[in-house]
């Protein structure tokens, strides 16, 4: 018999095996200073393209003031206990009402974290007789939610409506046998590659198949649609989304999340969702902060306009220079280059040390072997000078990559 830890010690996992070379630099880097377009990395200023603070609210003076006042008034503990027991307040309810109105649903419910919240939402919405059909590229939190499901589940090819329809036919047969229903899950925006989910086409299938539609709009909320009310508005089908989810961790520059749906569904979730029933309520600091941020989303359209000015400048500039930015339809800006993981490591080091550009790097197994994905997140706190410097830097590193400079420098790097 083995010791439980033997496997863990011997096999560090697909990312963990690079830890010796990567930790503190490529993964778990320490970005310091106020959250903004320029931050400090290892004592040097870098243009920061790796923070999902889309609207630049993280360090907005009005937001900071509200956060500080709420912390002074309530501390970080209040309220204590789960919502159901002792953690319910007037302001939690007010925030839920305002969020519901903003996304045009009857009711909303707060979640402490997006990840566990959506996982638990999925768990609560389906019984073992129901069938889940979801995009194969769904975020880990959706996959984990589906893992809890005791019944059948089918994946459809990423954003492929034909594949979805095939799976809806299979799901319909199963659901007829088990006397269950069908839940279809997509993201509003796929956060790695930036494509919007094909929500409009998915919604159109409702006329042929009987299913309910859950959308995780983590990256669409605040960035797409009327005043940033999300991908459903952007595509004109918000009413066809039965359960709408967004996190506060991106455009809202905070922590927490919410779901919005018909009142009856939200009431059911309130009384049955385990992640909220058995966990402490969202802290008041975060609730008051979210009320302020939501107010900014609704009443400061110039912030979103500034975000999109930067997005357009960056994406157009990259395309004009011949970079492959895939098929993004959102602020998420991927740049695909060909190269190995060791080459990617040297390239990113060059970008950070010599060009002062800090962006995230994504490699296999998140994307196919042989590809390097540099992922840039433009925000409203960037400016056109940041964009221009970055475009020049990208042209330079591509040249070095193609000349084999990084390949030569990376020969000594190996996984352990």
Ligand X SMILES: Cc1ncc(COP(=O)(O)O)c(C=O)c1O
Nearer to ligand X (CB atom), residue 114 or residue 342: 114
CB 348 within 8 A of CB 397: no
As a whole number of Å, the end-to-end CA separation of the chain is 26
Nearer to ligand X (CB atom), residue 218 or residue 285: 218
Nearer to ligand X (CB atom), residue 63 or residue 141: 141
- Examine residue 218 and tell whether it contacts ligand X (CB under 6 A): yes
CB 188 within 8 A of CB 198: no
Question: Given candidates 56, 191, 317, 334, which one binds ligand X under the rule CB under 6 A?
Answer: 191
Nearer to ligand X (CB atom), residue 48 or residue 247: 247
Please give the full DSSP string across 69-108, using - where no structure is assigned. HHHHHHTTTPSPS-TTTT---HHHHHHHHHHHHHTT-SEE
Nearer to ligand X (CB atom), residue 144 or residue 165: 144
- Examine residue 249 and tell whether it contacts ligand X (CB under 6 A): yes
Stretch that binds ligand X, among 109-117, 170-178, 199-207, 390-398 (CB under 6 A): 109-117
- Examine residue 139 and tell whether it contacts ligand X (CB under 6 A): yes
Question: Given candidates 159, 186, 238, 247, which one binds ligand X under the rule CB under 6 A?
Answer: 247
- Examine residue 100 and tell whether it contacts ligand X (CB under 6 A): no
Q: How far apart are CA 79 and CA 279, in angstroms?
A: 12
Strand 153-156, strand 333-338: pairing: unpaired
Beta-ladder partners of 64: none
Nearer to ligand X (CB atom), residue 361 or residue 393: 361
Nearer to ligand X (CB atom), residue 52 or residue 410: 52
Nearest distance in Å: CB 192, ligand X: 9
Nearest distance in Å: CB 190, ligand X: 8
Q: Which residue has the tokens 């991106």?
A: 250
- Examine residue 27 and tell whether it contacts ligand X (CB under 6 A): no
Question: b/e for 224-244, b at 16 or more Cβ within 10 A?
Answer: bbeebbbbbbbbebbebbbbb
- The arrangement of strands across the sheet holding 182-187 comes to 107-111, 257-261, 243-247, 212-216, 182-187, 131-135, 153-156
- Examine residue 115 and tell whether it contacts ligand X (CB under 6 A): yes
Stretch that binds ligand X, among 111-119, 302-310, 332-340, 387-395 (CB under 6 A): 111-119
Stretch that binds ligand X, among 62-70, 114-122, 145-153, 369-377 (CB under 6 A): 114-122
- Examine residue 244 and tell whether it contacts ligand X (CB under 6 A): no
- Examine residue 345 and tell whether it contacts ligand X (CB under 6 A): no
- Examine residue 54 and tell whether it contacts ligand X (CB under 6 A): no
Q: Count Cβ atoms below 10 Å from residue 209 Cβ, excluding itself.
A: 16
Cβ neighbours of residue 49 closer than 8 Å, sequence gap 6 or more: 357, 358, 359, 360, 375, 376, 377, 378, 390
Phi, psi dihedral angles at 199 (to 5 degrees): -65, -35
- Examine residue 187 and tell whether it contacts ligand X (CB under 6 A): yes
- Examine residue 360 and tell whether it contacts ligand X (CB under 6 A): no
Phi, psi dihedral angles at 291 (to 5 degrees): -60, -40
- Examine residue 141 and tell whether it contacts ligand X (CB under 6 A): yes
Cα angle 375-312-220, degrees, rounded to a multiple of 5: 65
Nearest distance in Å: CB 387, ligand X: 24
Nearer to ligand X (CB atom), residue 41 or residue 115: 115
Nearer to ligand X (CB atom), residue 57 or residue 393: 57
Q: Count Cβ atoms below 10 Å from residue 176 Cβ, excluding itself.
A: 10
Task: Calculate the dihedral angle through the C-alpha atoms of 119, 121, 123, 126, rounding to the nearest 10 degrees.
Answer: -140
- Examine residue 260 and tell whether it contacts ligand X (CB under 6 A): no
Nearest distance in Å: CB 140, ligand X: 8
Q: How far apart are CA 91 and CA 262, in angstroms?
A: 21
Nearer to ligand X (CB atom), residue 115 or residue 156: 115
Token pair in block for residue 274: 């385990």
Nearest distance in Å: CB 249, ligand X: 4
Radius of gyration of the chain (CA): 22
Positions that interact with ligand X (CB under 6 A): 113-115, 118, 139, 141, 187, 191, 216, 218, 247, 249, 257
């Amino acid at each position: 018999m083995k010791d439980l830890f033997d496997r863990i010690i011997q096999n560090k996992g697909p990312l963990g095996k690079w830890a010796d070379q990567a930790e503190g630099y490529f993964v778990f880097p320490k970005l310091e200073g106020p959250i903004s377009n320029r931050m400090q990395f290892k004592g040097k200023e870098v243009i920061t393209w790796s923070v999902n603070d889309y609207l630049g609210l993280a360090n907005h003076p009005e937001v900071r003031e509200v956060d500080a006042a709420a912390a002074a008034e309530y501390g970080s503990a209040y309220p204590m206990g789960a919502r159901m027991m002792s953690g319910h307040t007037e302001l939690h309810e007010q925030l839920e009402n305002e969020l519901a109105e903003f996304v045009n649903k009857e009711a909303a419910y707060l979640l402490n974290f997006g990840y566990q919240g959506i996982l638990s939402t999925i768990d609560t919405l389906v019984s073992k007789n129901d069938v889940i059909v979801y995009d194969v590229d769904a975020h880990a939190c959706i996959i984990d939610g589906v893992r809890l499901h005791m019944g059948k589940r089918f994946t459809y090819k990423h954003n492929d409506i034909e594949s979805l329809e095939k799976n809806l036919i299979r799901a319909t047969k199963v659901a007829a046998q088990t006397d269950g229903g069908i839940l279809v899950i997509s993201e509003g925006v796929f956060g790695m590659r930036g494509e919007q989910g094909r929500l409009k086409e998915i919604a159109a299938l409702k006329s042929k198949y009987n299913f309910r539609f859950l959308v995780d709009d983590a990256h669409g909320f605040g960035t797409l649609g009327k005043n940033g009310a999300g991908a459903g508005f952007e595509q004109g089908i918000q009413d066809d989304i039965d359960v709408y989810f967004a996190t506060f961790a991106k455009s809202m520059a905070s922590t927490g999340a919410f779901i919005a749906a018909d009142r009856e569904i939200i009431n059911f979730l309130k009384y049955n969702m385990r992640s909220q029933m058995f966990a402490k309520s969202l802290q008041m600091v975060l609730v008051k902060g979210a009320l302020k941020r939501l107010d900014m989303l609704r009443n400061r359209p110039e912030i979103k306009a500034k975000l999109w000015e930067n997005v357009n400048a960056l994406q157009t500039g990259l395309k004009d220079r011949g970079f492959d930015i895939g098929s993004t339809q959102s602020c998420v800006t991927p740049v695909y280059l060909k190269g190995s993981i060791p080459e990617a490591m040297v390239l990113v080091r060059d970008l950070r040390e010599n060009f002062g550009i800090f962006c995230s790097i994504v490699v296999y197994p998140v994307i196919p072997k042989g590809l390097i994905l540099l992922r840039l997140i433009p925000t409203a706190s960037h400016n056109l000078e940041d964009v221009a410097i970055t475009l020049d830097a990208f042209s330079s590193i591509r040249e070095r990559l193609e000349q084999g400079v990084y390949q030569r420098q990376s020969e000594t790097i190996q996984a352990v």
